[in-house]
Structure 1
C-alpha cells in the first residue's frame, strides 16, 4: 500500500504500525542496557520544523519556505532571497539597491557561502573559497580568567590593530584620482592537511584530516602577537527562524557551567551584546554563539563578508592602518539614510528586513525513514551514547514570538545552542566574548543527511575538516570524549545504524 509513496509518508505509516503493536516498540527500545534510554518515537519527529517543515524534499536545494508560509510572507521570502542570491556591486553604480560592495570583502553574495541554503564549496588545497572565513581574536593565554569570567590582559585589544576581526582577501577595483591605488585585499589563505590514523575497537581502520592554516600575501604586516586566527566554515541556515524563536528560559534551563549534576557536560551560554537593545543577551548564532538574534547574525555577515553596512553595523570594517580602505569608503556614494541611525548605510532597513525574513522563513526538511528497523537501532545508540546531552532533541518555540508561523511550534533541531569544551584537537585557542579557545556551539543536526545529495558534497565541524558524520564524531573531545569513545566501541553494524539515524533526522 505504501511502497510507491515518499519516504516521509512511509515513515508515518510505520509509526502507526508500531503504535498498533506496542510490544514491538518494547523489543526495539530495550536493545542494550544504558543509563540513557531512548524515549518512544513520536509522530512529531517526522516533521522536525513543525508546520515549518517543507512538504516535499527538494533534492537540489534547502531553499524553500516552510509549509505554513503563505501570501505576503511568501512574497517577502522570495524578494529577500533575491538579495541573498544576487551579487552586490561596488558603489556608485546604476544598480542603486545592490551597490556598496567592499571596500574589502570576502564574497559578493550570501549564496556563495551558503550554497543551496547549506554549506558552500570547501576549498581544496591551494584554492581559496569564500565559504571558509578566517576570523581573528585574542589568544586564550593573553586573557586572565577567574570564576569563568574573562578579563582582558592590560593593554591588549580584542582584535588585530591592522586587520580587525576578520581577514578579507579581496578589494574592489575602484579607480579615482584621489586614490593612489585600489584597496588591497588583506591576505590569502594557504590550506594543507595532515593525515591522522586510528582504529575502532573492532580493528577497523579510519583516517582523519588535520588542517593547517597559514596566511600569505599579508598586505599590512604580521598579525599582532596576542592575536590568533580561527577558521569558520559557513553553516547551514535553514530552520534559523525556529532557533531564534526558542525561549531564553528553555535554553538557560540547560546551563550547567560547573557540572553540578556531575554528568560530565558543562553547558554554557555565551553572553554577548544585543546591538538592537544595547543589553547583554545569550548568544545562539554563529559557530561560537557570537550573536543573540538572527537579525544581528545577518547584519554581521553583510558587513563583514560583503562589506554592506546596515543599521546594526553602520561602519565599514577598515582599520586605522588601512588608509586606502578608509578613503575609498568616503568616496563611495552613501545610498540610504536609515531611520534608526543618523548615518548613511548601504542597505535600507526595508530591504534588510526582507533578507532577515527570508532567513526566518526557510523551512526544515522532513525526516526520512525514521521507523526503519536499522534507524530505530541507531536512534537507540544515539541516546545510549549520551549524544542528546548536548544535541537536545526538541523544544516548543515561544508562543509569543512575533512571527506567528514560527511561534508555538514543536521542533526537533538536536542542539542546545550552548558552548561546550570540545577538546584540544578542535581548539582554535581564540577568545570570543565568553567562549574560550576550546568551546564551540552545538550545531543543529536536522537535515544534515541531505547535504551530499543537495550540494554534491558534505563537510562537517566548524572548519569543514570532516568529510563524513563518522569523521565528525571521531574528532569529538573534551566534554564529548565519553560519547566519542562509546562510538569507537560500537560494532560496524551498530556504527552504520547510528549514522543512518543521523542521516534520517
Structure 2
C-alpha cells in the first residue's frame, strides 16, 4: 500500500510539475506586442484623426492659418464643376472641348480614389486610358497616338463629337493557396467603341490609370531626393531580389529632367505639374504650364470658344496645388490592437517593407507644415518590376512596361468609407487587399509566395494591419 501511495504521489507530483512548467512557459512566451511611439501619426504633425466619409478632405492639422484662404479657394476649384465657355462664371469656364470629367472630384470623389466604370458608357468614374506609340519626344516623353493624342477623352462639350468610349472585359485567373484555399482574380482587357476620328494606330500602347486618393502629397514632395536615392538598388547589388530605381521625368517648370514622384509610374516631378496636367488632360483646361487645347487630329481647337488664355490663372492654379499639397493624412485606427500588431510583424517578416518603407523623415518644403515630419507612408516612391501579370507594356521615361511606382499604403483602410469601394492597383482590377497582394510578382514574387504559405489566420492578420493604415 505504501508503495502504491508513493507511486501515486510521485505521479501526481509529475502532473503538477508539468502543469506548472506549461503555465510558466506560457507566461514567459506571451509578450504583448506594442506599437512604435507615434505610430498612429501617419502624417506626422499633419495627421487628422477622422474616420468619416470626409476623412481625406481636411487640411493638415499643423497648417499655418495664413494658408486657410488658399486652401478654401483651392478646395472650391477642385470640387465644383467647370462649364463650357463663354459663361458668367469666368473663373470656371473653358471646359473641354474634350475631357474625362467636369471637375477634379469626378475622378477623386471626396479627395479619394477613383475606380473603373461599373458599366459600359459610364462617365466621370475615375479611370482614364493613356495612349502612345513606340518612341519618345525630344523631352523623353511618350509619343502620342497620332489621332487621339496621349489620353483618350470619353466626353465632350455639346458642340464637339466625343472621341470614343471604351469597354473593359474581365477574364478569370484562379489562384490556389498551398493550404487548399482557392480564390479568383480578374484580369481586364480593353477595347474602344465609336471611334469618331478614325482607327487607332495598329501599334498603339494603352495604359489604364485610376485616380488615387489625394492625401499626403505635399509630404511625399518634401522627402529629400537623397533619401529616395538611398532606397534605390537598381542593379540589386545586395542580391535580395529587390531593385528599385527612381524615375526621371521632364519638369515643365524648370525645363529639365528631374526625379519623378507622382503618378503610377512616377512620371511627374511636382504637385503643381501633376495638377496642371490633370486640368489639361482630364478637364480640357489650359494653364501656363500646358497652354494647348487637346483636340484629335483634323479638329481645329480654335473653332471652339475658350475660357481665356490660359483658362485657369496662375493664381488659381497655385491655390489648387496648395490645396493638393496640404490635404491631411488620416491617423491610424486600431494601431495598438494585438491582432493588427501581429499582422504588422508578419508584414515585416515576409519583407513587404523592402518596397513599402514604413517610416521616412521629410526635409525642406515651401510650406512649413510639411517640413521635418516623421511620416509613415509605406512607399519608397521608386519603380519596381511587378511582373508580366500587371504589365501595361508601355514605357514611361525610365520606367519600362513592367515597372510601377510603389503605391503609398496610408489611408488604404478608409477608401471603402470615403469612396464606397475597395478596388485597388493601377487599373482597379483588385477588388480587395488580398487580390492586390496576389497580383504581385516580379520583384515582389517572394513576398507574395510567403504570404500564400501563411495559414488563413495569419493572412487575415496582415490584411487587418494593412486596413489599419
**TM exceeds 0.5?**
yes
Aligned match for 1:282, one of 245, 259, 280: 259
Q: CA RMSD in A?
A: 2.0
Aligned match for 2:303, one of 308, 322, 328: 328
Residue 123 (str. 1) matches residue 117 (str. 2) = yes
Query: Does the C-alpha gap of structure 1 residues 247 and 236 become closer, same or farther in structure 2, counting only changes over 3 Å?
Result: same
The aligned residue for residue 448 of structure 1 is: 412
Deviation string 1:441-464 (CA, Å, 9 cap, x unpaired) is: 111000101111222111100000
Equivalents in 2 of 1:79, 1:442: separation in Å?
Answer: 31
Residue pairs, 1:72-221, within 5 angstroms: 72-130=66-124, 131-138=126-133, 142=134, 158-173=143-158, 182-221=159-198
The aligned residue for residue 388 of structure 1 is: 353
Equivalents in 2 of 1:383, 1:26: separation in Å?
Answer: 20
Equivalents in 2 of 1:373, 1:24: separation in Å?
Answer: 17
Q: SS in structure 1 opposite 2:88? A: coil
What TM-score results when the alignment is normalised by the length of structure 1?
A: 0.84
For residue 26 of structure 1, report the CA deviation from its aligned partner. Answer: 8.8
For residue 79 of structure 1, report the CA deviation from its aligned partner. Answer: 1.4
Aligned match for 2:46, one of 49, 52, 65: 52
Q: Figure out how many residues of one structure are paired with residues of the other and give that number.
A: 440
The aligned residue for residue 32 of structure 1 is: none
Aligned match for 2:314, one of 349, 366, 379: 349
Equivalents in 2 of 1:25, 1:388: separation in Å?
Answer: 26
Equivalents in 1 of 2:261, 2:420: separation in Å?
Answer: 28
Query: Does the C-alpha gap of structure 1 residues 170 and 125 become closer, same or farther in structure 2, counting only changes over 3 Å?
Result: closer
- Contact preservation (8 Å) 1:194, 1:211: yes
Q: SS in structure 1 opposite 2:105? A: coil
Equivalents in 1 of 2:404, 2:190: separation in Å?
Answer: 19
For residue 25 of structure 1, report the CA deviation from its aligned partner. Answer: 11
- Contact preservation (8 Å) 2:86, 2:307: yes
The aligned residue for residue 444 of structure 2 is: 480
Residue 495 (str. 1) matches residue 446 (str. 2) = no
For residue 193 of structure 1, report the CA deviation from its aligned partner. Answer: 1.1
Q: SS in structure 2 opposite 1:46? A: coil
Equivalents in 2 of 1:221, 1:43: separation in Å?
Answer: 59
- Contact preservation (8 Å) 1:28, 1:376: no
Aligned match for 1:457, one of 421, 428, 433: 421
Deviation string 1:318-340 (CA, Å, 9 cap, x unpaired) is: 24x2324x2334x4352xxxxxx
Equivalents in 2 of 1:292, 1:25: separation in Å?
Answer: 49
Residue pairs, 1:27-42, within 5 angstroms: 27=31, 41-42=35-36
Equivalents in 1 of 2:121, 2:462: separation in Å?
Answer: 34
Deviation string 1:140-167 (CA, Å, 9 cap, x unpaired) is: xx56xxxxxxx88xxx971111011000
Query: Does the C-alpha gap of structure 1 residues 78 and 85 become closer, same or farther in structure 2, counting only changes over 3 Å?
Result: same
- Contact preservation (8 Å) 1:183, 1:328: no
Larger CA Rg, structure 1 vs 2: 2
Bigger Cα displacement from structure 2, 109-118 vs 40-49: 40-49
- Contact preservation (8 Å) 1:125, 1:192: no
Q: SS in structure 1 opposite 2:207? A: strand
Q: SS in structure 2 opposite 1:215? A: strand
Equivalents in 1 of 2:286, 2:142: separation in Å?
Answer: 23
The aligned residue for residue 291 of structure 1 is: 268
The aligned residue for residue 17 of structure 2 is: none
Query: Does the C-alpha gap of structure 1 residues 96 and 412 become closer, same or farther in structure 2, counting only changes over 3 Å?
Result: same
Q: SS in structure 2 opposite 1:323? A: coil
Unaligned runs of 5+ in 1: 1-22, 30-39, 144-150, 174-181, 335-343
- Contact preservation (8 Å) 1:414, 1:446: yes
Equivalents in 2 of 1:384, 1:408: separation in Å?
Answer: 29
Query: Does the C-alpha gap of structure 1 residues 390 and 264 become closer, same or farther in structure 2, counting only changes over 3 Å?
Result: same
Q: SS in structure 1 opposite 2:106? A: coil
Residue 375 (str. 1) matches residue 306 (str. 2) = no
Equivalents in 2 of 1:488, 1:53: separation in Å?
Answer: 33
Query: Does the C-alpha gap of structure 1 residues 28 and 263 become closer, same or farther in structure 2, counting only changes over 3 Å?
Result: farther
Equivalents in 1 of 2:132, 2:343: separation in Å?
Answer: 39
- Contact preservation (8 Å) 1:89, 1:108: yes
The aligned residue for residue 341 of structure 1 is: none
The aligned residue for residue 63 of structure 1 is: 57
Deviation >6 Å, runs of 4+: 23-26
Equivalents in 1 of 2:43, 2:376: separation in Å?
Answer: 7
Equivalents in 1 of 2:121, 2:31: separation in Å?
Answer: 51
